[in-house]
Amino acid sequence: MKVEYIDLGVMNYQDAWQKQSFLMEKLKKEKSEGKEGVNYLLFVEHPHVYTLGRNGNQANMLINIAQLAVKGVEFIKVDRGGDITYHGPGQLVVYPIFCLNDFRTGVKEYVRRLEEVVIRTIAEYGLRGERQEKATGVWLDAGASSARKICAIGLRCSQFVTMHGFALNVNTDLDCFNYINPCGFVDKGVTSMAKETGETINIDKVKLLVLQYFKEIFAIEELQ
């Protein structure tokens, strides 16, 4: 299985969303025509932005849009699943444009594989990532009163092709989560690799680890 890897660097959310949508439609068209098609793995960091999933509750945005505009922060309603989340500097956002049939998986197992990529990545830093029942993403101390999310997941799948993906808090400014109920939760915290380790993390090293575990977990033969 061949996958094309693209590091978009720092890109605003709308442009990255448009890029994803284009690649998704391209892959869907290729598959509908019986072609092998190209799967993509996009890495990006976004400027400050809050996004609300299609089934999310805008009440989980705790300040109004005008206040956000004054702070130079965007608020965007998007077509992924999940509720509200934050993206910003120091956060690694990963968007796989994958045909699930190519990877012999369904949506539920696909989500578990994404979680596993993150779990293995943060384990390299001595962090024990876990899954939490009825709450996608990767957590520390899952099930405890001290449970805190280190990685959020939100997806869209059309004709077995995915877009959107996960956001791993590496060196993220966690104060930005104070303006929302992250993923709709009011009783759970958010954390980052930097906060948990007490050190600024080299995000380029994290990218290499994420790539390594994508290759292993999704059995990717060639990552271009």
Enclosing domain of residue 194? 2-223
Rg (CA), the chain: 17
Q: Which domain CATH number covers 80?
A: 3.30.930.10
- List pLDDT tens digits, range 29-85: 999 999 999 999 999 999 989 888 887 777 767 676 667 665 677 788 888 877 788
157-197 tens-digit pLDDT: 999 999 999 999 999 999 888 876 655 555 568 999 999 99
pLDDT one-digit tens code per residue, 200-216 = 999 999 999 999 999 99
99, 151, 176, 183: which is the annotated catalytic residue?
A: 183
The domain tally of the chain equals 1
**CB burial class (10 A; 0-12, 13-18, 19+) of residue 47?**
middle
6's tokens: 């693209």
In tens, the pLDDT along 11-34 reads 999 999 999 999 999 999 999 999
Strand partners, 148: 140, 189
Give the pTM. 0.92
Q: Give the 3-state secondary structure of residue 197.
A: helix
At residue 123, the pLDDT reads 98
Q: From CA 129, how far away is CA 123, in angstroms rounded?
A: 7
Catalytic, 99? Answer no
Residue 17 CA, chain-centre distance (Å), reads 13
